[in-house]
Structures are given as structure tokens and as C-alpha cells.
A and B are shown apart, each in its own frame.
Chain A
Amino acid sequence: MVPSTQKLIHTFGALADLGQEVANTGDFSEMVRTSMHLLLGTLALRRGAVAEFSPARALECVAVWGLDEQLLSQFQIRGEEEIELLGLQWPAFLVAEGRSSFFERHQAALAREGIELIAPMIVRDKLTGFVLLGGKASGEEFSAEDFETIRAMVRHIGVGIHTHRLIEQVAQRAEENRRLYEDLRAIYRDTVRAFAAAIDIKDKYTQGHSERVGRYSEIIAREMGWSEDEVEGIQIAGYLHDVGKLVVDRNIINAPYHIDAKQSSELNKHPAAGYEILAAINHPYADIPLMAKYHHERLDGRGYPDGLVDEQIPLGAKIVALADSFDAMTTDRPYRRRRSFEDVVRDLRQNTGTQFDPNVVAAFARALLKEVTGETKDRRIVKMLGKGYLEEDNVPTLLNDLIADLSDRSRPTALSGRQ
């Protein structure tokens, strides 16, 4: 029988809607439910369900209309039944006809529920589920034309479900990878911190130095607007900046007095040695070996190991250099007590432009000022400096003056004078 024009329009409209629906990557359940309604509405069916096989090959209902959802849970497919169904390659099976051992086994239960036709969902030669249909409103039998419509629509629905499941798996794996990556980063950070502690143990006078340099560097970088990833990277660089000291004679590092020129030359090898150690490691952050190598360089070119000047020095190394010097000035050493804060600020002012980068010093001063004025609740610098160190009333004034002074020196004309 030739289908009427109206029926063709109705069916094509439904197929077009179904194509759009299965391509919708949003709510999975809603996609299946809508697709099922499109199929039911195309043939005017009063009952239907879309069910997919669980990994244990039990049928699980994804969408249901006019049927008991629990009905499907009793149907399990056996391996040989699955092979038989795949071999038949039929678009749909009339329950009354049986035609396969699976349907024959469940024929009575299916008929009792008013399910008249079952279409297997086969995707890439795998049986992924069934679409169960029944109750044609017209009371007519399913026609050959209905079978073709069901074949086309069920194929669409099967591919839609398969695609959604694949997307879910990809998203799940991406999430697992993200967690794994976070775990690895945490392990890396913990390992680096443990390593930093090991470096500092070699120097009995500067224990905790590497940890503090890492934290000062992180605070400065954040104040300078670096991204979180970059901030993490420079914190690691701070932790590891003195790793080269591992190859320096312990007696030189722990000398309880000023060391001589030869010993100084030996000690000054530690940035380059650190670079050699760190360059062999594949860090998750950029430029860590260079930050360690150049943390004793100066803007005026009188630093070591390479005597670089200003723009030749990576900004990260300039930050670590300031953090390193600040911690050296504010902690006790074997041959001197730590310097007062006023004295430290005076040193920073004198050496900014020759040793320290003015933008870096200004960022550090701003971060500390925020802590002492209470603008930020974070008081990590104050805590690292220890109780009583910053109790003078003039600390905010010293910092404000330093910042004002540096803002003048940060101008390009002043920069040229630093060389």
C-alpha cells in the first residue's frame, strides 16, 4: 500500500526532529525520552520503552511510556541468544512470532505487558539494547512500512545512546586524568619541599631558608599578577634555588665566619651546579632550572655565574634573588644577628636598580604592606619573619616611602641609569 502524503510528511518531520535530538549532547535521559516519544508518536503507539544492556547483560530501562519500568529488569540475555539475534539481522521482531530463542523465552511476559514488537539496537555489530513497542492506536498490524520507519529511528536512537555513553566515558576519563594529574602535582610539590628541607639541613644556620624563599617568591609573583600556574612554578623554583649547594663542601657552607676568596669561589658554583641538577628533570613548570641558575645575578652585571644584566635575567630569577636576599637579611647567621627592618628597607632602597629589580621590590613591599595594614588577612610574610620583628609603628611608613621611591625609579629613564 502506498503511504499517504500526510503520513510521509508526519514521518519525515519526526525523522528530522530525531536527528536533531540524538545530536543533542545535553541531558542523556531527556534525549532518550524525547527520541522514544518521537518514535511512538510517528506510529501512534501507546506503549514503549528504550532499554540498554548493563555490563552484566541485564536490560535496564532508559525511557518508558505506558509500561511498568520494573518489567524490563527480569530480562537477561544469554551469550548464545545474543549471537543468534545478531546473526538474524532483523530490524524488529513481532513478539507473537517468537523467531529467536530470547523472544521465545520471554514471549509470555512480553505479551502480558502488551509489548508487540521489539527492535534490537545494534551499534557497530554489538547488541546494545532493545526498543519495545506496542499498542498501535489504529489497532492495525505493523506494516512493512512501519518496520522500515522503526529500523531507521531505532538505528538513530542506538547511535545517539552510544555516542552519549562514549562522551560520558571520555568525560569520566578526563576527570580521572585531571585528578591523577592533581595528585601527581601534589606528590611533586611534597617531594620538592622534602628536597628543599634536605638542602637546608646541609646548612645548619639556614634551616627553613629554601621553604621561606619559595613562599616569598610565590607571594611576590602573585602580587605581580602572575597566573596560578606560574606562581606554583616560581614557588618550586624558590624551594630548589639552592639545590646546587649539595655539591659544595659542607665545611664551606657551615663556616662560622666570613669565608675566604677560594671558598667563596667554590660556594659561588652552586647556582650553575643547581642548573645542571635541575635541567635533567622534566618539571611541570617552565624555567625552574634558569631561575635557580640566575638567582645570584644582578641588574648591573656584577652577579654570577654569567654576569648577566637586567633584561638578560629572567624575571623569575629576579624574584627568587630578592626572596633569597630578603631571607638572608632577616634571619640570623653564624657571624651576625639579623638586621632590623629599617636597615633591610634601607638596603633594598640602596640596591634596587643595581642588584634588585624595582618592580619586584615594589611588589614585595606592596604585599608586605597589605599584611601589616590588615588589607589582607593573609599574614604569611609577618609569620615567617617571626613575632616581634615588625612591631615598630613606622613599618607602614617605611614601606609606603619605599613604594613611592620605587615608582619613580621604575620609569624607563630611571631604568637606563641602573645599568
Chain B
Amino acid sequence: MDSLIGATVRSHCVGTTAVVYASDYLNKLTGEKIERECRRQLDSGCRALVIDFGDTQLVNSIGISILLGIINVAEKNGAQVVFSDVNNQTVELFDMLGLTRHVALARNEQEALSNISGLDPTPTLH
């Protein structure tokens, strides 16, 4: 069942994978909410995070910093991170800044979950 954190962050769990949905603009306010939710999911035992950017139009600098923080925490917890449904402009930004060296990209949530579950161990990169 979906949970709603701070009225903007949706998330749900599939097995030990948490799917967290980013909002249309990933900035300080929304980024911190996503970070809190990711930390909460990891603390409650999730072994993988899928952050879905289907609604996300723009990511600013603070958003990048917070995403790197999530990657740090996930790595410390031995958890995998997959970004799904990222638009081309944001993929270009993530590539340019090197985020894609640390996370897998998937076309959509289903593909991300499949990759994590091991059906297709190689993440699909855009």
C-alpha cells in the first residue's frame, strides 16, 4: 500500500525493495522529504531503493547533493539504488555529474524491480 509522507512523497514496498516517487521539482524541500523516506525504508530493512522520476521535470544542485547522500547511505547499508523513468535532460545531468557511475537507470519502475529481483541482473542504461 502506498504511503504519503509530508503530502508529497509517495512510496511503497515490493518485497525488500522500496519504491519512492520523486516530485516534479527535486529541490531542498522535496529532496529532504525523499531522503527521509529513503532512510526510513533502509532503517526498516529494505535492501534496495528505486527512486522513480516519472513526475520529475527538474533537479537542482541541492537535489543532486541529496541524491548523492541517499547513494552514500544506501552503500553503507549494502543496498542497491536504481533510478527509474528519468527524463532525457535529467539523465544528461546525472551523466555529466557522474551520478550514473553509482546507480543503475531503468526505463520504468517495472524494469527497475525486475533488475533488482535478479531476473535481469544487468541494469538497462539509457
Contacts and interface: CB of A to CB of B under 8 A. Distances in A.
A53 interface: no
Given A34-B28, A65-B65, A13 B60 contact: yes
Contacts of A66: 68-69, 72
Q: Is chain B's binding surface mostly helix, strand, loop or mixed?
A: helix
A66 B66 CA distance: 11
A39 B97 CA distance: 13
Nearest to A65: B69
B62 A17 contact: yes
Contact of A38 (B65, B69, B98, B99): B65
B44 interface: no
A44 B62 contact: no
Nearest to A7: B96
Nearest to B75: A46
B92 interface: yes
Nearest to A137: B98
B40 interface: no
B71 interface: yes
A139 B61 contact: no
B102 interface: yes
A392 to B, nearest CB: 68
B93 interface: yes
Nearest to B65: A41
Interface residues of A, number: 25
B98 A136 contact: yes
A370 B96 CA distance: 78
Interface in B70-112: 71-72, 89, 92-93, 96-99, 101-102
A41 B92 contact: no
B101 A137 contact: yes
Interface string B40-76: 0000000000000000000011111110110110000
Nearest to A4: B96
Contacts of B69: 46, 65-66
A44 B99 contact: yes
Contacts of A38: 61-62, 65
Contacts of B28: 34, 37
A140 B63 CA distance: 21
A356 B97 CA distance: 85
A40 B92 contact: no
A138 B101 contact: yes
A137 B60 contact: no
A44 B71 contact: no
B125 to A, nearest CB: 16
Given A10-B61, A46-B71, A37 B98 contact: no
A249 B26 CA distance: 86
B38 to A, nearest CB: 15
Contacts of A14: 60-61
B93 to A, nearest CB: 6
A37 B92 contact: no
Interface string A352-395: 00000000000000000000000000000000000000000000
A40 B92 CA distance: 18
A40 B96 contact: no
Interface in A134-170: 136-140
B91 to A, nearest CB: 11
A34 B99 CA distance: 20
A45 interface: yes
Nearest to B97: A44
Contacts of A13: 60-61
Interface of B: 28, 60-66, 68-69, 71-72, 89, 92-93, 96-99, 101-102
27 contacts: A4-B96, A10-B93, A13-B61, A14-B60, A17-B60, A17-B62, A34-B28, A37-B28, A37-B61, A37-B65, A37-B66, A38-B62, A38-B65, A40-B64, A40-B68, A41-B61, A41-B64, A41-B65, A42-B61, A44-B64, A44-B65, A46-B71, A137-B98, A137-B99, A137-B102, A138-B97, A139-B98
Top 6 closest A-B pairs, CB basis?
A138-B98, A41-B61, A44-B97, A41-B65, A137-B98, A41-B64
